[in-house]
Amino acid sequence: MPELPEVEIAARNLRRWTHGRRIERIEPEPKARYVFRPATPASFARGLEGARFGDIRRIGKQLLVTLEKDGAPVGLLAHLGMTGKWLRRDGDGTATRFSRARFHLDDGAVLHFDDMRLFGRLRVVPGARFEKVPEIAELGPDPLERGIDLERLAHALGRSRLPVKVRILDQALLPGVGNILASESLFHAKIDPRRQARSLTRAEVRRLADGILATVKETIAREEGPEIAYVEEGAENPFLVYAREGERCPRCRRAEIVRIVQAQRSTYYCPRCQR
Ligand SMILES: [Zn+2]
Protein backbone atom coordinates (compact mmCIF):
# COMPACT_ATOMS: atom_id res chain seq x y z
CA MET A 1 0.00 0.00 0.00
CA PRO A 2 1.44 3.38 -0.96
CA GLU A 3 2.66 5.51 1.94
CA LEU A 4 5.19 8.32 2.07
CA PRO A 5 8.07 6.42 0.38
CA GLU A 6 6.00 5.07 -2.49
CA VAL A 7 4.36 8.44 -3.14
CA GLU A 8 7.80 10.11 -3.06
CA ILE A 9 8.98 7.64 -5.70
CA ALA A 10 5.86 8.43 -7.78
CA ALA A 11 6.64 12.17 -7.48
CA ARG A 12 10.24 11.66 -8.62
CA ASN A 13 9.15 9.54 -11.59
CA LEU A 14 6.44 12.00 -12.61
CA ARG A 15 8.89 14.92 -12.47
CA ARG A 16 11.24 13.08 -14.78
CA TRP A 17 8.51 11.97 -17.18
CA THR A 18 6.58 15.24 -17.41
CA HIS A 19 9.29 17.91 -17.33
CA GLY A 20 8.29 20.54 -19.93
CA ARG A 21 5.60 18.26 -21.37
CA ARG A 22 2.08 19.14 -22.44
CA ILE A 23 -1.01 16.93 -22.11
CA GLU A 24 -2.50 16.47 -25.55
CA ARG A 25 -5.39 14.24 -24.59
CA ILE A 26 -6.73 12.38 -21.57
CA GLU A 27 -8.67 9.13 -21.82
CA PRO A 28 -10.45 8.48 -18.53
CA GLU A 29 -11.95 5.03 -18.05
CA PRO A 30 -15.74 5.66 -17.95
CA LYS A 31 -16.26 2.67 -15.63
CA ALA A 32 -13.78 4.07 -13.11
CA ARG A 33 -15.85 7.16 -12.34
CA TYR A 34 -15.24 6.75 -8.59
CA VAL A 35 -11.61 7.82 -9.18
CA PHE A 36 -12.71 11.21 -10.57
CA ARG A 37 -15.45 12.02 -8.06
CA PRO A 38 -17.03 14.52 -7.61
CA ALA A 39 -16.24 15.32 -11.27
CA THR A 40 -17.29 13.12 -14.16
CA PRO A 41 -14.54 11.36 -16.14
CA ALA A 42 -15.25 13.64 -19.11
CA SER A 43 -15.14 16.90 -17.14
CA PHE A 44 -11.93 15.77 -15.41
CA ALA A 45 -10.33 15.26 -18.83
CA ARG A 46 -11.55 18.61 -20.15
CA GLY A 47 -10.06 20.36 -17.11
CA LEU A 48 -6.51 19.29 -17.92
CA GLU A 49 -6.30 18.67 -21.67
CA GLY A 50 -3.87 21.11 -23.28
CA ALA A 51 -2.15 21.93 -19.97
CA ARG A 52 1.62 22.00 -19.56
CA PHE A 53 3.29 20.42 -16.53
CA GLY A 54 5.06 22.56 -13.94
CA ASP A 55 5.97 21.83 -10.31
CA ILE A 56 5.21 18.50 -8.69
CA ARG A 57 5.10 18.42 -4.91
CA ARG A 58 4.32 15.75 -2.37
CA ILE A 59 2.94 16.30 1.10
CA GLY A 60 2.39 13.07 3.01
CA LYS A 61 0.57 10.73 0.66
CA GLN A 62 -0.79 13.53 -1.55
CA LEU A 63 0.67 14.50 -4.91
CA LEU A 64 0.19 18.14 -5.86
CA VAL A 65 0.79 18.76 -9.55
CA THR A 66 0.73 22.33 -10.86
CA LEU A 67 0.11 22.81 -14.56
CA GLU A 68 -0.51 25.79 -16.81
CA LYS A 69 -3.46 25.95 -19.14
CA ASP A 70 -4.38 28.95 -21.29
CA GLY A 71 -1.93 31.09 -19.35
CA ALA A 72 -3.42 30.27 -15.94
CA PRO A 73 -2.41 27.74 -13.27
CA VAL A 74 -4.48 24.61 -12.77
CA GLY A 75 -3.83 21.85 -10.24
CA LEU A 76 -4.08 18.08 -10.29
CA LEU A 77 -4.41 16.47 -6.88
CA ALA A 78 -3.60 12.77 -6.99
CA HIS A 79 -3.94 10.24 -4.20
CA LEU A 80 -2.84 6.66 -4.83
CA GLY A 81 -5.36 5.12 -2.41
CA MET A 82 -4.54 1.47 -1.72
CA THR A 83 -3.13 0.24 -5.03
CA GLY A 84 -2.72 3.32 -7.25
CA LYS A 85 0.45 3.88 -9.26
CA TRP A 86 1.72 5.95 -12.16
CA LEU A 87 3.23 4.08 -15.08
CA ARG A 88 4.78 5.34 -18.28
CA ARG A 89 4.33 3.57 -21.59
CA ASP A 90 5.35 4.45 -25.10
CA GLY A 91 2.37 5.62 -27.08
CA ASP A 92 1.41 2.35 -28.75
CA GLY A 93 -2.00 2.50 -27.09
CA THR A 94 -1.58 -0.63 -24.95
CA ALA A 95 -3.24 -0.06 -21.60
CA THR A 96 -1.74 -1.31 -18.36
CA ARG A 97 -3.83 -3.92 -16.58
CA PHE A 98 -5.75 -1.60 -14.27
CA SER A 99 -5.39 1.64 -16.23
CA ARG A 100 -8.03 4.14 -15.05
CA ALA A 101 -6.83 7.20 -16.96
CA ARG A 102 -4.37 7.68 -19.79
CA PHE A 103 -2.55 10.98 -20.22
CA HIS A 104 -1.18 11.31 -23.77
CA LEU A 105 1.83 13.63 -23.72
CA ASP A 106 3.33 15.68 -26.55
CA ASP A 107 6.47 13.51 -26.62
CA GLY A 108 4.41 10.46 -27.59
CA ALA A 109 4.51 8.87 -24.14
CA VAL A 110 1.40 7.83 -22.26
CA LEU A 111 1.09 8.08 -18.49
CA HIS A 112 -1.30 5.57 -16.97
CA PHE A 113 -2.95 6.02 -13.62
CA ASP A 114 -3.23 2.33 -12.75
CA ASP A 115 -5.34 1.30 -9.77
CA MET A 116 -6.56 -2.23 -9.10
CA ARG A 117 -8.77 -1.52 -6.08
CA LEU A 118 -10.15 1.89 -7.16
CA PHE A 119 -9.47 3.73 -3.90
CA GLY A 120 -7.19 6.17 -5.74
CA ARG A 121 -8.34 9.62 -6.62
CA LEU A 122 -7.64 12.24 -9.31
CA ARG A 123 -9.07 15.72 -8.96
CA VAL A 124 -8.69 19.04 -10.78
CA VAL A 125 -7.95 21.93 -8.41
CA PRO A 126 -8.93 25.29 -9.96
CA GLY A 127 -6.12 27.84 -9.92
CA ALA A 128 -3.85 25.16 -8.36
CA ARG A 129 -5.01 26.55 -5.00
CA PHE A 130 -4.20 23.41 -3.06
CA GLU A 131 -4.29 25.25 0.26
CA LYS A 132 -8.06 25.55 -0.19
CA VAL A 133 -8.50 21.77 -0.30
CA PRO A 134 -9.42 20.56 3.21
CA GLU A 135 -7.37 17.31 3.01
CA ILE A 136 -4.28 19.39 2.20
CA ALA A 137 -4.92 22.23 4.66
CA GLU A 138 -5.07 19.81 7.59
CA LEU A 139 -1.73 18.09 6.88
CA GLY A 140 1.22 18.69 9.20
CA PRO A 141 4.75 19.32 7.91
CA ASP A 142 6.02 16.53 5.68
CA PRO A 143 8.65 14.45 7.56
CA LEU A 144 10.94 13.94 4.56
CA GLU A 145 10.72 17.47 3.19
CA ARG A 146 10.79 19.31 6.50
CA GLY A 147 12.18 16.84 9.03
CA ILE A 148 10.44 15.93 12.27
CA ASP A 149 10.18 18.62 14.93
CA LEU A 150 10.92 16.76 18.18
CA GLU A 151 9.26 19.39 20.39
CA ARG A 152 6.06 19.18 18.41
CA LEU A 153 6.07 15.37 18.31
CA ALA A 154 6.83 15.08 22.05
CA HIS A 155 4.06 17.55 22.84
CA ALA A 156 1.48 15.68 20.73
CA LEU A 157 2.42 12.26 22.09
CA GLY A 158 2.60 13.57 25.66
CA ARG A 159 -1.07 14.57 25.57
CA SER A 160 -2.39 11.27 24.21
CA ARG A 161 -3.63 8.14 25.97
CA LEU A 162 -3.88 6.31 22.64
CA PRO A 163 -1.48 3.48 21.85
CA VAL A 164 1.56 5.09 20.23
CA LYS A 165 1.03 3.11 16.99
CA VAL A 166 -2.47 4.55 16.63
CA ARG A 167 -1.44 8.09 17.56
CA ILE A 168 1.31 8.34 14.95
CA LEU A 169 -1.11 7.50 12.11
CA ASP A 170 -2.63 10.99 12.46
CA GLN A 171 -1.88 12.80 9.18
CA ALA A 172 -2.02 16.18 10.92
CA LEU A 173 0.90 15.02 13.06
CA LEU A 174 2.99 12.91 10.66
CA PRO A 175 1.65 13.09 7.09
CA GLY A 176 2.57 10.09 5.00
CA VAL A 177 3.01 7.72 7.95
CA GLY A 178 0.60 4.86 7.32
CA ASN A 179 0.06 1.43 8.74
CA ILE A 180 3.24 -0.09 7.28
CA LEU A 181 5.58 2.78 8.23
CA ALA A 182 4.12 2.87 11.74
CA SER A 183 4.94 -0.80 12.44
CA GLU A 184 8.35 -0.57 10.78
CA SER A 185 9.33 2.66 12.58
CA LEU A 186 8.35 1.33 16.02
CA PHE A 187 10.39 -1.81 15.33
CA HIS A 188 13.31 0.38 14.34
CA ALA A 189 12.89 2.41 17.56
CA LYS A 190 12.42 -0.73 19.73
CA ILE A 191 9.16 0.62 21.15
CA ASP A 192 6.15 -1.58 21.96
CA PRO A 193 3.28 -0.36 19.72
CA ARG A 194 0.75 -0.95 22.53
CA ARG A 195 2.27 1.61 24.88
CA GLN A 196 0.34 4.76 25.66
CA ALA A 197 1.75 7.59 23.55
CA ARG A 198 2.24 9.72 26.65
CA SER A 199 4.41 7.06 28.32
CA LEU A 200 7.29 7.62 25.89
CA THR A 201 10.40 9.21 27.33
CA ARG A 202 12.17 12.01 25.54
CA ALA A 203 14.85 9.57 24.37
CA GLU A 204 12.17 7.26 22.97
CA VAL A 205 10.47 10.11 21.10
CA ARG A 206 13.83 10.86 19.51
CA ARG A 207 14.31 7.18 18.61
CA LEU A 208 10.84 7.11 17.09
CA ALA A 209 11.53 10.20 14.95
CA ASP A 210 14.84 8.68 13.85
CA GLY A 211 13.07 5.38 13.15
CA ILE A 212 10.45 7.06 10.93
CA LEU A 213 13.05 8.93 8.87
CA ALA A 214 15.35 5.92 8.60
CA THR A 215 12.47 3.69 7.48
CA VAL A 216 11.33 6.26 4.91
CA LYS A 217 14.81 6.61 3.44
CA GLU A 218 15.55 2.86 3.43
CA THR A 219 12.22 2.10 1.77
CA ILE A 220 12.80 4.72 -0.94
CA ALA A 221 16.28 3.34 -1.61
CA ARG A 222 14.94 -0.22 -1.84
CA GLU A 223 11.87 0.44 -3.96
CA GLU A 224 12.88 3.31 -6.22
CA GLY A 225 12.40 2.58 -9.90
CA PRO A 226 9.96 3.22 -12.72
CA GLU A 227 7.64 0.30 -11.83
CA ILE A 228 6.48 -0.30 -8.29
CA ALA A 229 4.58 -3.35 -7.02
CA TYR A 230 2.83 -3.53 -3.66
CA VAL A 231 2.85 -6.38 -1.14
CA GLU A 232 -0.96 -6.41 -1.40
CA GLU A 233 -0.65 -7.34 -5.08
CA GLY A 234 1.55 -10.34 -4.27
CA ALA A 235 4.92 -8.55 -4.66
CA GLU A 236 7.85 -9.68 -2.52
CA ASN A 237 7.61 -8.27 1.01
CA PRO A 238 10.47 -5.75 1.49
CA PHE A 239 9.59 -4.95 5.13
CA LEU A 240 11.17 -6.11 8.39
CA VAL A 241 8.04 -6.87 10.43
CA TYR A 242 5.04 -5.78 8.36
CA ALA A 243 2.99 -8.81 7.22
CA ARG A 244 5.56 -11.19 8.75
CA GLU A 245 3.47 -12.77 11.50
CA GLY A 246 5.04 -15.99 12.79
CA GLU A 247 8.42 -15.34 11.15
CA ARG A 248 11.56 -15.03 13.22
CA CYS A 249 12.49 -11.48 14.23
CA PRO A 250 15.25 -10.21 11.91
CA ARG A 251 17.02 -8.46 14.83
CA CYS A 252 17.02 -10.79 17.85
CA ARG A 253 16.42 -13.95 15.76
CA ARG A 254 14.74 -15.52 18.78
CA ALA A 255 11.17 -14.27 19.08
CA GLU A 256 8.49 -14.58 16.41
CA ILE A 257 6.80 -11.51 14.94
CA VAL A 258 3.33 -11.06 16.42
CA ARG A 259 0.27 -9.56 14.75
CA ILE A 260 -2.31 -7.67 16.77
CA VAL A 261 -5.22 -5.43 15.77
CA GLN A 262 -5.26 -1.79 16.88
CA ALA A 263 -8.03 0.57 15.75
CA GLN A 264 -9.18 -2.09 13.25
CA ARG A 265 -5.75 -2.30 11.60
CA SER A 266 -2.98 -4.86 11.81
CA THR A 267 0.14 -4.06 13.81
CA TYR A 268 3.26 -6.23 13.62
CA TYR A 269 6.02 -6.22 16.24
CA CYS A 270 8.65 -8.25 18.07
CA PRO A 271 7.58 -8.89 21.68
CA ARG A 272 11.22 -9.39 22.67
CA CYS A 273 12.89 -6.35 21.05
CA GLN A 274 10.10 -3.81 21.47
CA ARG A 275 9.58 -2.65 25.04
ZN1 LIG B 1 13.25 -9.25 18.11
pLDDT value for 91: 79
pLDDT value for 93: 66
101-130 tens-digit pLDDT: 999 999 999 999 999 999 999 999 999 999
All domains of the chain, ordered by start, with CATH? 4-137 (3.20.190.10), 143-269 (1.10.8.50)
Spell out the alpha helix ranges (H) of the chain: 4-18, 33-36, 41-48, 134-137, 143-146, 150-158, 164-167, 179-189, 202-223
Among candidate residues 56, 57, 62, the one with its CA nearest the CA of residue 4: 62
For 62-67, what is the mean pLDDT? 98
Whole-angstrom distance, CA of residue 25 vs CA of residue 17: 16
Whole-angstrom distance, CA of residue 89 vs CA of residue 93: 8
CA 194 to ligand 1 center in whole angstroms = 16
pLDDT value for 88: 96
Distances (CA, A) of 261 to 20, 193, 199, 245, 258: 46, 11, 20, 12, 10
- pLDDT band of 95, cuts 50, 70, 90: confident
Average pLDDT, the chain: 96
CA 271 to ligand 1 center in whole angstroms = 7
pLDDT > 80? residue 11: yes
β-partners of residue 112 are 87, 102
Is position 132 annotated as part of the catalytic site? Answer: no
pLDDT value for 55: 98
* Options 3, 6, 29, 184, the catalytic residue: 3
CA 5 to ligand 1 center in whole angstroms = 24
| pTM of the predicted structure, to 2 decimals | 0.96
Q: Which residues, including other chains, have CB under 8 Å from residue 149's CB and lie 6 or more apart?
A: 141
CA 249 to ligand 1 center in whole angstroms = 5
pLDDT value for 234: 84
Q: Which residues, including other chains, have CB under 8 Å from residue 230's CB and lie 6 or more apart?
A: 1, 2, 6, 83, 85
**Number of other residues whose CB lies within 10 A of the CB of residue 69:** 17
Is position 217 annotated as part of the catalytic site? Answer: no
Stated as kind and residue range, the H or E segment containing 265 is strand 265-269
Whole-angstrom distance, CA of residue 149 vs CA of residue 51: 37
- Relative to beta strand 265-269, strand 258-262 is antiparallel
Between residues 272 and 232, the one the model is more confident about: 272
pLDDT value for 99: 95
CA 11 to ligand 1 center in whole angstroms = 34
Whole-angstrom distance, CA of residue 111 vs CA of residue 18: 9
For 3-27, what is the mean pLDDT? 98
Is position 265 annotated as part of the catalytic site? Answer: yes
pLDDT > 90? residue 243: yes
CA 190 to ligand 1 center in whole angstroms = 9
**String of DSSP letters for 178-247:** -HHHHHHHHHHHT--TTSBGGG--HHHHHHHHHHHHHHHHHHHHHH-SS----GGGT-----SSTT-TTS
β-partners of residue 25 are 104
Among candidate residues 3, 8, 9, 49, the one with its CA nearest the CA of residue 226: 9
- Relative to beta strand 109-115, strand 99-105 is antiparallel
pLDDT > 90? residue 233: no
124-174 tens-digit pLDDT: 999 999 999 999 999 999 999 999 999 999 999 999 999 999 999 999 999
Q: Choose the weakest-confidence range: 93-102, 166-175, 262-271.
A: 93-102
pLDDT > 80? residue 274: yes
* Options 2, 28, 163, 175, the catalytic residue: 2
77-91 tens-digit pLDDT: 999 999 999 999 987
For 30-57, what is the mean pLDDT? 96
CB 24 within 8 A of CB 201: no
* Options 251, 265, 271, 272, the catalytic residue: 265
pLDDT value for 49: 98
CB 76 within 8 A of CB 67: yes
CA 254 to ligand 1 center in whole angstroms = 6
Share of the chain above pLDDT 70, in %: 100
CA 6 to ligand 1 center in whole angstroms = 26
Distances (CA, A) of 23 to 46, 68, 108: 11, 10, 10
Whole-angstrom distance, CA of residue 170 vs CA of residue 263: 12
CA 196 to ligand 1 center in whole angstroms = 20
- pLDDT band of 4, cuts 50, 70, 90: very high
* Options 28, 41, 58, 61, the catalytic residue: 61
- pLDDT band of 190, cuts 50, 70, 90: very high
